[in-house]
Amino acid sequence: MSLRLGDTAPDFTQDSTEGPLRFYDWAGDSWVVLFSHPRDYTPVCTTELGVVAKLKPEFERRGAKVIGLSVDPADSHLGWARDIEETQGAKLNFPLIADHDRKVSDLYGMIHPAASDTTTVRSVFIIDPNKKVRLTLTYPASTGRNFDELLRVIDSLQLTDNHKVATPANWKQGEDVIIVPSVSDEQAKTLFPGGWTEHKPYLRTVKQPA
């Protein structure tokens, strides 16, 4: 069964490019971005791993760790890592799970029940420090993932966890946000003393809280 938003991300122990890895121990109290690949030496995934390696400092700045998964063994991953560094100009600087027995892929519902192979293993999970799944995405094999969007989602989740706001379409860090409908105008006066703009009674925008 596929994981749904709010579910607890399952713990697991699996081999990786950094040796045996127990997921909860590795994650600690960080946010986690787990993204999966159907096999090693695939062209789109090669570019994705290079991009994530370059963006790792941006994830770390948000208190987030990144971890990849591919369904081939660790020794194959190490060979692929050399290709990634050569072609993408970035060294693999985060663990790549070796899900050779499909244990994690099955546990997280990454393989469609009707699939004859692992081509459906193109999933992304954002997991919070309480090990709750906060975002799930599944991409087709032909479409490279947008990791800037995942950074944007983490920014939004962290902001909205701490303030009674939501983020509008295409929101970026620093832009105006929406006061959630459960906050009355009276409560909003205390929470947002600088005032807000009421477009409709249910749509009130305010400067992003600090």
Residues catalogued as catalytic: 45
Q: What is the DSSP string of 11-37?
A: P-EE-BTTSSEEHHHHHTTSEEEEEEE
Report the distance separating Cα 177 and Cα 181, nearest Å: 12
Show the tokens assigned to 70: 């591919």
Tokens of 90: 């970035």
Which residues, at least 6 apart from 133, have a Cβ–Cβ distance to it below 8 Å? 3, 4, 5, 6, 7, 8, 9, 125, 126, 127
Residue 91 contacts residue 53 (beta carbons within 8 Å): yes
Distance CA 95, CA 8 (A): 21
Contacts of 9 (CB under 8 A, 6+ apart): 3, 23, 32, 34, 108, 125, 127, 131, 132, 133
Nearest-angstrom CA–CA distance, 208 and 121: 36
